[in-house]
Amino acid sequence: MPFFQDVCGLGAGIQWTFVIVVEADGKLNVLADQVPLDLKDKTLVKLAPRRFVGTAKEFDARFIAQLQPTSAAAIEFFANVREFETSMQAKKTALQDKAKNPTSPPAAKPPQTDPKQKQFDLIMKKVKELEHAGNIGQAIGKLPKVADFKNFEATINARTLELKKKHGGFSLFDQEEAMVPSSVTPQPTPAEESDPEQGNEDLEDPSEPDEPLDDPEDEAENDEAESEVSLQS
């Protein structure tokens, strides 16, 4: 049977390499190597060449028969590599798609530290020490000014409120006084309203004449008349 027809019968899509060395004794030393054409990574399918030794007559009679089992094993190995390569390509594509369209939010950047943070912490530490020592007034005076630490305004205000409560309340300047507007005249209550003539009831009018006093003699006559009337009855 022709040699090349036998090689074609071993499978398509294969690159064969044969190295034939004729030894001094006339024997043949043949190296046979096969590589699949469809796999991109040739390093995954690189196999050691199969080595055959014999006379030319032996090669003509049995070479293809000896090559066929090893070739079939190599073809099965190539199939496994092909499957592995396909799965790896799918994973690579998925990773690339995920990189282009990330589903998870990007990692948050660490917050930048305020340049006055260290100074502010030292002042607040001193305030806390004064508070624990019972020096609430000194602690209030030690609080940092909002004008100097604008980024810590909320913390300063909350601490000020807390310390002033411990100190016994707020000062007059911290509260809004409820004052009656000067333009509003207080209205008198019903009990305070009075009749304009009520205040003159007990006063005597000097223009009216005094009533005459009763004469003692008239009173005696009246008594006698009253007694007579009572006897007659």
Q: What is the pLDDT of residue 176?
A: 42
Closest Cα to residue 162, out of 136, 141, 125? 136
Cβ atoms < 10 Å from Cβ of 73: 12
**Based on the structure, what is the number of domains in the chain?**
2
C-alpha distances in Å from residue 17, one per residue of 6, 49, 59, 224? 15, 9, 16, 180
Residue 97 has a pLDDT of: 79
Is the same domain home to 84 and 165?
Answer: no
Q: Is residue 222 part of a domain?
A: no
Within a domain: 227: no
What pLDDT is stored for residue 182 in this prediction?
Answer: 43
The answer to whether residues 16 and 67 belong to one domain is yes
Domain assignment present for residue 11? The answer is yes
Altogether, the residues listed in the chain come to a count of 233
Per the structure, the complete domain to which residue 13 belongs is given by 3-100
pLDDT attached to residue 116: 83
Query: Please, is 146 exposed, middle or buried when counting C-beta atoms within 10 Å of its C-beta (0-12, 13-18, 19+)?
Result: middle
Residue ranges, the chain, pLDDT below 70: 1, 102-107, 110-112, 169-233
Any domain includes 159: yes
pTM: predicted TM-score of the whole model, two decimal places: 0.38
- Same domain, yes or no, for 47 and 85? yes
CA angle, 102 as apex, 100 and 105 as ends, to 5°?
Answer: 145
- The answer to whether residue 96 sits within a structural domain is yes
Do residues 77 and 44 touch, judged by C-beta distance below 8 A?
no
Instruction: State the pLDDT at residue 31.
Output: 93
Upper half-sphere CA count for residue 39 (Cβ side, 13 Å): 23
Q: Judge if 138 and 62 occupy the same domain.
A: no
Give the model's pLDDT for residue 175. 43
Q: What is the pLDDT of residue 181?
A: 44
The verdict on 56 and 10 lying in the same domain is: yes
Q: What is the pLDDT of residue 27?
A: 92
Domain end position, chosen among 147, 169, 191: 169
116 CB contacts (<8 Å, ≥6 apart)?
148, 149, 151, 152
